[in-house]
Structure 1
């Protein structure tokens, strides 16, 4: 949608004043459309926008400890599902065992993010090694398997009936990915050595169901390939850092991969707000057209209290998002010069559903209460 109704204007006190210097204390909130690539407004509140007293009903913020999920299963296509809709599903897979069958997703592209571990991946295009912080993009229909060198944890994002692409700069996105940073599989000695004449199964997911195809040889038997379609790998450490030095930076500036209905963004270490006492970035925000899921990979997450690596938060559209009260004062207004957080964010323009089969022990049920009486704790 390009023909938005835009009415540039301003009214009242439009300066962020965390300490009430010469005026009312204010809390800035950004309200945006189309993932903050459409019309936007900054609203300056007297009270913290996330300072609710109670939260009732099915709409609420939720948090999960994905690292507490049980290992397995052997087939990654049947890994524990966390979120889903008709256009996307997110699964979390923990394994330390060599795969003795291949996996093939016929429902859409799969973007794997390696949270922990290291090992080898073999696919129809060859062999590549993986390690923590890697994105591995598996085009729809690619057969693959892994041989972990150590226990490994993966977040697996499926673009159902769709493909992953890089952000289109002409539509307002700003790609932080240099395609020259991609690592491609190689037809190397390790790949040739794994080829054999034994019986091999390919587990194929199609329309949500898994079928099995058996060959009397290893189907990963390529001797070469050419073209411009293949598996690619990218580590967050290879992503160019965007140092805005106090300039307004929206989530779109971190967008890494996109599909037709959702985006995947990477938050990496960056320059903080400094000791000025002035918040240069509006951390309270309302992304009215997208549900937000964030997976916390590494570092100290300066906008969140009690959130550790391996946890995830889900903030559906419909209410303001923002920092925890203690984080606002201690970590954000007086933020370090350099942050060290690494997190993966998914913004979906189609409502996301939490898979309610997630065990209770993996969900932080009291997460919704962590903002209550926010102003009293500042």
Structure 2
């Protein structure tokens, strides 16, 4: 991300800096990646971020694995999930490995506490809903079809304007724009499918000075640690740097088209350790008169493909509804279902809107994925022999 700043900061780092109202010395916090070698931001607090009134309970995060009897392509109908939980504990994981957790959240309420992920970055794709995220970096407005990227260490809470439905990603690694989109200075290149103008950091910094008890929930060491503070955690006077939350709307992704079919890397939006996130958007299709517009059959020899269907008509898949997942695991070829290629010949554009995650290590499934599984999908490429 590019350099950003909000609020009041001193002219130099690591110098005396005082609150204009009380003349008290402010507390400088350096939030950095890779020790002191990666990107960082510096925040100025009214109170020490180390200050804790009471240490609460630690609750382990338990993912119940489902080990299917068969290795097949899978379809998951997530729209069957009704509202439950809050904006943190309502996140339900469907697929996971050591690099990424992929899930759905349909919160029935806002969390009544602040949350901070202490050991991972988060991406929330807003399928439905709008609102704001109140963070230590300021207020971040979001709308339908936004990606919300929340770097680790960000204390925040959601405020909803309407009912919500999210696709969620968690990674112990770092969420970045793809390396090939950036020059050696980190600036996005001209051929990238987006520009820095499309990424939106917080726009308003509200400094909370009130005291009183405030609950913070921290994800760390495979669980949730609860704390009670005697001050409001969003007490930042100002900050600057390269680490901060931001939004990117999927409709600002500029899809690529070619004379012949463009492969999935043309749709890549983010990268993480051993996985990528891609945006499939409405676009013009191939213009060669002999072009086959639908994806060719391919074998995921070293990767697993998860596709989440957001809107529009996905021509290569029959019987897949909005809000569904398909999982095409490693070791199995997959491609358009029977009849879809012939039907697509000559089409000039597609209305599909989908989010894809390709992982380069096998995914495990949770028991929730079993509850929402459609076993008939594995047979959707089968046709009765002619004349049978």
Assess if the C-alpha contact under 8 Å between 1:110 and 1:158 holds in 2.
Answer: yes
* Structure 1, unpaired ranges of 5+: 1-55
Assess if the C-alpha contact under 8 Å between 2:85 and 2:108 holds in 1.
Answer: no
In structure 1, how many angstroms separate the alpha carbons of the residues matched to 2:144 and 2:159?
A: 15
> When the two structures are superposed, what TM-score results if normalisation uses the length of structure 2?
0.75
Among candidates 307, 332, 336, match of residue 319 of structure 1:
332
Please state whether the residue corresponding to 1:325 is helix, strand or coil.
coil
* Structure 2, unpaired ranges of 5+: 1-67, 183-188
Q: Aligned runs of 1:207-226 on 2, under 5 Å? A: 207-226=221-240
Offset of residue 127 of structure 1: 0.6
Among candidates 236, 241, 247, match of residue 233 of structure 1:
247
In structure 2, how many angstroms separate the alpha carbons of the residues matched to 1:369 and 1:225?
A: 55
Deviations 1:123-182 (A, max 9, x none): 11111211111001100121111111111011111112x1011112189x9742322210
In structure 2, how many angstroms separate the alpha carbons of the residues matched to 1:165 and 1:214?
A: 32
Residue equivalent to 1:169: 180
In structure 2, how many angstroms separate the alpha carbons of the residues matched to 1:106 and 1:120?
A: 21
Q: Aligned runs of 1:4-19 on 2, under 5 Å? A: none
Offset of residue 96 of structure 1: 4.2
Q: Aligned runs of 1:1-378 on 2, under 5 Å? A: 58-77=70-89, 79-160=91-172, 162-169=173-180, 175-188=192-205, 191-192=206-207, 196-244=210-258, 246-273=259-286, 276=289, 278-279=291-292, 282-330=295-343, 332-335=344-347, 337-358=348-369, 360=371, 362-373=372-383
Offset of residue 376 of structure 1: 5.6
Deviations 1:71-123 (A, max 9, x none): 22225155211111111111211124232111211231001110111111111
Give the aligned length: 313
> When the two structures are superposed, what TM-score results if normalisation uses the length of structure 1?
0.76
Please state whether the residue corresponding to 1:367 is helix, strand or coil.
helix
Which structure shows the higher helix fraction? 1
Assess if the C-alpha contact under 8 Å between 1:97 and 1:147 holds in 2.
Answer: no
Offset of residue 277 of structure 1: 6.2
Please state whether the residue corresponding to 1:59 is helix, strand or coil.
coil
Assess if the C-alpha contact under 8 Å between 1:120 and 1:127 holds in 2.
Answer: yes
Assess if the C-alpha contact under 8 Å between 2:90 and 2:106 holds in 1.
Answer: no
In structure 1, how many angstroms separate the alpha carbons of the residues matched to 2:198 and 2:337?
A: 35
Offset of residue 57 of structure 1: 5.1
Offset of residue 309 of structure 1: 1.4
Please state whether the residue corresponding to 1:95 is helix, strand or coil.
coil
